[in-house]
Amino acid sequence: MKSKTVYFCAGWFTDKQNKAYEKAMEAIKNNPTVDVDNSYVPLQHQYKGLRVDEHPELLEDREWSTATYNGDRVGVQTSDIILAIYIPEEEDVGMGVELGMAKAFGKYNLIVIPDEDWGKPINLMTYGVGDHFIKLSELENYNFNRPSFNFYEGAVY
Amino acid sequence: MKSKTVYFCAGWFTDKQNKAYEKAMEAIKNNPTVDVDNSYVPLQHQYKGLRVDEHPELLEDREWSTATYNGDRVGVQTSDIILAIYIPEEEDVGMGVELGMAKAFGKYNLIVIPDEDWGKPINLMTYGVGDHFIKLSELENYNFNRPSFNFYEGAVY
Amino acid sequence: MKSKTVYFCAGWFTDKQNKAYEKAMEAIKNNPTVDVDNSYVPLQHQYKGLRVDEHPELLEDREWSTATYNGDRVGVQTSDIILAIYIPEEEDVGMGVELGMAKAFGKYNLIVIPDEDWGKPINLMTYGVGDHFIKLSELENYNFNRPSFNFYEGAVY
Amino acid sequence: MKSKTVYFCAGWFTDKQNKAYEKAMEAIKNNPTVDVDNSYVPLQHQYKGLRVDEHPELLEDREWSTATYNGDRVGVQTSDIILAIYIPEEEDVGMGVELGMAKAFGKYNLIVIPDEDWGKPINLMTYGVGDHFIKLSELENYNFNRPSFNFYEGAVY
Amino acid sequence: MKSKTVYFCAGWFTDKQNKAYEKAMEAIKNNPTVDVDNSYVPLQHQYKGLRVDEHPELLEDREWSTATYNGDRVGVQTSDIILAIYIPEEEDVGMGVELGMAKAFGKYNLIVIPDEDWGKPINLMTYGVGDHFIKLSELENYNFNRPSFNFYEGAVY
Amino acid sequence: MKSKTVYFCAGWFTDKQNKAYEKAMEAIKNNPTVDVDNSYVPLQHQYKGLRVDEHPELLEDREWSTATYNGDRVGVQTSDIILAIYIPEEEDVGMGVELGMAKAFGKYNLIVIPDEDWGKPINLMTYGVGDHFIKLSELENYNFNRPSFNFYEGAVY
């Protein structure tokens, strides 16, 4: 069976983000249409393996910033599908940049929302650049080989 | 003298955003290199003139969402320069989408940060897709006809 | 006053097309927001000034075809706005290619429909890549400096 | 053996179109370099499974139009190759939009022409955005894994 | 009269390059359709005003390289037209990158060749991404407001 | 195991180029993450199988030039990864065009430099559009399924 690579677009800063992150990661590992091994997980591509939350001195290190940004850009460009683990009440500007960039390059943006948050208001621009919206519980069985379009069934502000 | 149109990318939800919004708008009105009349201000392009913050019933109105999103997309595509009034502590996913989209279309992203916030940490992806960073007090005299590149002189997380 | 260049996208094969062509050309000459002199009119850019309808031997001339196609491509890329004079019952594949290409390059597609045809069914893909739809009688006063979005108010098949 | 997905771009309105449609569909099912299962066939992606030719009330339904257009756009973006079943005397504006959009996104446009129509005049813009032209009888053995370029061997108007 | 900005793409390393550089610069200063003041001349945008040929220590300075590259990228993106002063026997990889990038962004590539070198063999890829080819003596009177297409009248290898 | 197709971007004119060409070709044949069979090797796609170095009469043959250029363009667009065998002291404008075009289309540019030339000065624009730089001896074991970013560890002029 074919499988697709994803750019795993998710936050890892709050409890809610971490929980969704773990669940989503497990779901794609169980999904035979995702090639997890060759997917791009930003957290695994911090320049020289250093994370800014653990090494605050990197905050002002231009080489680290430039290389880590470029790593993520490469990830967006070379992955088959952008997989955004999206929490309506904790929207993130960095995820916005990745979705906008992906849209203009003609990539497919799949937005996954935790079941308990499904229907809550999301930003208008995410609504517009998202190609398909599903609940987190649907991720495990979603067929990444057959992209199609739907609207977000929820509020948009 | 030549002048450039801008996509005026700014929030209007918090006090801080409103204050920066007003200051920035005044600055570009005083800047002869900006064609304010023909610039795209999203707040003036809400579909049918209706704002979702004043008409909460629009939250679920798919026609309103689709048209307002497309209006903003058209604004990004047809403006000469993306002007983002960017508040490090109040980053916004919608602005992220606009900056990412603009980047991939080859537009010029100018990031303007209030003087009192200059140097504060900004998101890595904004750092990467920004082409030029200035303080709000510099906006009035910035020459929009001569785009160039610089790095953000501040922290990046 | 500022003015925009247009790629004048229109057929010149049937009576109806010719009539709409003439009317539209006159309208933009009267519209101070259009820079007609520097706009791209495909009929004026046939390679070496030769038209295939008058020189049928060109039908098989690869140099003529390649150069004329590239001329039109250049016209689409370098014009500010794509102006399509669109007749619902005489849709044209070449116009489709130009609109699709323009869309992906981030250009603004303005679709103008003769008043007597307004509301008639148009192709789904034109509906989707059109950014703004107006009647031919509105063309003379349309402000090309202030692009915005609307839906086609008519049938789509 | 590797296989490629295609965006199956073809009309289904006239007898001639239907006949070519069926033949082409059979050819790619016999072609081991095409992944038919995961290819995008617009007719199978009409929003909510409703076809406008069977449900004329959809002609004015903006939600149906918007979603069906976006489905086709997603299909073009996510397929490896655009496969156009092209009938010179029945050219179609929608196919034009798809080919133009695909071209600007850097996709590969394969134009397939029924044997009995090979050589007949095609539109200049199709000639220009087509990357490779073959006869319908060649489709079954065409190697989708090895894209290359050729000119249309026929008339262009 | 309207005027266009150019990205002034030229070498400044050999005598021949310097001579052509000077001539071309003078020609566009005399050409009323070029807005020289707001055009992008890479040599004037070396990061912090430092030139690598005068400061060899910059060869290994990653910040200088990254910023200077990004300056040139911004120049390509924000200029109306790419003006390449092209010497067939001294072709340059950097100019190639700029022309290729410009092509994919939908910019207009104007290739100017010194009169004494007109007709000499040029690289196939330059031939392909060039939109218009003229002699250096024609530059002064070339109308930058009316882009069109032609072939290089010379050898291609 | 998955494998990626490459656009094999390399010169074949000087001894040094030929030597690097052979080594690189052998390396990717031994690399299980490269699908050599379906990769695009420009030398194998000269129009009608004719090489301009063996048939100098082609230098002025517009059909040959146009078709061969378009073949290479198709190769860049349809390959997963651009593989440039890059010799610092023999930089090539055609390779520059291919890298620039690939960059703007969002492709991944892998630059491979012969071990003995590693660290030597390369052009600023190549530095900027390269996504990853490795030595020729590393090519055989490079994992084409896991693209990431690094800087060139050498001089840039």
Tell me: the pLDDT tens digits for C14-43?
999 999 999 999 999 999 999 999 999 998
Q: What pLDDT is attached to residue D72?
A: 97
What are the C-alpha distances in Å from F122 to residues D27, F86, F152? 49, 9, 9
Q: What pLDDT is attached to residue D122?
A: 98
Q: What pLDDT is attached to residue C114?
A: 98
Task: Please say if the pLDDT value at position B53 is more than 90.
Answer: no
Picking from A68, A70, A93, the nearest residue to B95 by CB comes out as A93
Q: Is residue C77 part of a domain?
A: yes
Mean pLDDT of F38-62: 91
Cβ-contact B47, B75 below 8 angstroms:
no
Task: Give A43's DSSP letter.
Answer: G
Mean pLDDT of B3-13: 93
Q: What pLDDT is attached to residue E27?
A: 98
Query: What is the distance between the alpha carbons of residues F75 and D109, in angstroms, rounded to a whole number?
Result: 13
Mean pLDDT of A84-109: 96
Domain of D74: which CATH number?
Answer: 3.40.50.450
Query: What is the distance between the alpha carbons of residues A47 and A62, in angstroms, rounded to a whole number?
Result: 11
Q: What pLDDT is attached to residue D28?
A: 98
Q: Is residue B147 part of a domain?
A: no
Q: Which structural domain range is residue C48 located in?
A: 6-141
Q: Is residue D153 part of a domain?
A: no
Report percent pLDDT > 70 for chain F: 100
**Tokens 């919004």 — which residue?**
B21
Task: Please say if the pLDDT value at position A13 is more than 90.
Answer: no
Mean pLDDT of chain A: 96
Of residues A26, A89, A98, A153, which has the active-site annotation? A98
Q: What pLDDT is attached to residue D12?
A: 85
E38–B145: do the CB atoms touch at under 8 Å? yes
Q: Which residue from B minimizes the CA distance to D70?
A: B66
Which chains would you list as touching E if contact means 3+ CB atom pairs under 8 Å?
A: A, B, C, F
Report percent pLDDT > 90 for chain E: 88
What are the C-alpha distances in Å from F139 to residues C86, D106, F155? 54, 27, 21
Report how many Cβ contacts below 8 Å link chain B to chain C.
32
The answer for residues whose C-beta is within 8 angstroms of residue F55's C-beta and 6 or more apart is none
* Residue B29 CA, distance from chain mean position: 15
Q: What pLDDT is attached to residue F14?
A: 92
Cβ-contact F153, F133 below 8 angstroms:
yes
Q: Is residue F154 part of a domain?
A: no
CA-based nearest distance F115→chain E, Å = 18
Q: How confident is the model at residue B11 (pLDDT cuts 50, 70, 90)?
A: confident
Task: Please say if the pLDDT value at position E40 is more than 90.
Answer: yes
Q: Which of B119-128, C57-66, E22-31, F106-115 has the least mean pLDDT?
A: C57-66
Q: What pLDDT is attached to residue C129?
A: 97
Please report, as a single letter, which amino acid is at residue E148. S
- Tens of pLDDT along A45-62? 889 999 988 999 999 999
Q: What pLDDT is attached to residue F86?
A: 98
Residue E72 burial by Cβ neighbours in a 10 Å radius (0-12, 13-18, 19+): buried
Which chains would you list as touching B if contact means 3+ CB atom pairs under 8 Å?
A: A, C, D, E
Q: What pLDDT is attached to residue D61?
A: 93
Q: How confident is the model at residue A11 (pLDDT cuts 50, 70, 90)?
A: confident
- Tens of pLDDT along B17-37? 999 999 999 999 999 999 999
Q: What pLDDT is attached to residue D1?
A: 84
Q: What pLDDT is attached to residue B110?
A: 98
The closest alpha carbon to B17, from B147, B136, B125, belongs to B136
Q: Which residues of F are less than 8 Å from C66 in CB distance? A: 66
Q: What pLDDT is attached to residue C11?
A: 86
Mean pLDDT of F83-96: 97
Q: Is residue A67 part of a domain?
A: yes
Q: What pLDDT is attached to residue E12?
A: 84
The closest alpha carbon to B147, from B43, B6, B19, belongs to B6
Of residues E98, E116, E138, E140, which has the active-site annotation? E98
CA-based nearest distance C127→chain F, Å = 26
Q: Is residue D157 part of a domain?
A: no
Tokens standing for residue C105 = 């390059």
Q: How many domains does chain D have?
A: 1
Report percent pLDDT > 90 for chain C: 88
Q: Long-range CB contacts (< 8 A, 24+ apart) of B28-33?
A: B28/B83, B28/B139, B28/B140, B30/B140, B31/B139, B31/B140, B31/B141, B31/B142, B31/B144, B32/B1, B32/B3, B33/B1, B33/B2, B33/B3, B33/B4, B33/B142, B33/B143, B33/B144, B33/B145
Q: Is residue C146 part of a domain?
A: no
Q: Is residue F26 part of a domain?
A: yes
The answer for residues whose C-beta is within 8 angstroms of residue B64's C-beta and 6 or more apart is B47, B48, B50, B52, B58
Task: Please say if the pLDDT value at position B82 is more than 90.
Answer: yes
> Residue A116 catalytic?
no
Task: Please say if the pLDDT value at position F71 is more than 90.
Answer: yes
Q: Which residues of B are less than 8 Å from C82 in CB distance? A: none
Query: What is the distance between the alpha carbons of residues B135 and B119, in angstroms, rounded to a whole number?
Result: 10
CA-based nearest distance C106→chain D, Å = 10
Cβ-contact A117, A89 below 8 angstroms:
yes
F97–E62: do the CB atoms touch at under 8 Å? no
Three-state DSSP class for residue C129: helix
**Tokens 């081991």 — which residue?**
D32
Q: Which residues of A are less than 8 Å from E104 in CB distance? A: none
Q: What pLDDT is attached to residue F1?
A: 84
Q: Which of C64, C124, C149 to mutate to test the interface with D (most CBs of D within 10 A)?
A: C124
Q: What pLDDT is attached to residue C94?
A: 97
Q: How confident is the model at residue C13 (pLDDT cuts 50, 70, 90)?
A: confident
Q: What pLDDT is attached to residue D11?
A: 86
CA-based nearest distance D49→chain B, Å = 20
Q: What pLDDT is attached to residue C130?
A: 98
Q: Which of C127, C148, C153 to mutate to test the interface with B (most CBs of B within 10 A)?
A: C148
- Alpha helix segments (H runs only) across C36-149: 62-78, 93-104, 124-129
Q: Which residue from A minimizes the CA distance to F82?
A: A78
Task: Please say if the pLDDT value at position C147 is more than 90.
Answer: yes
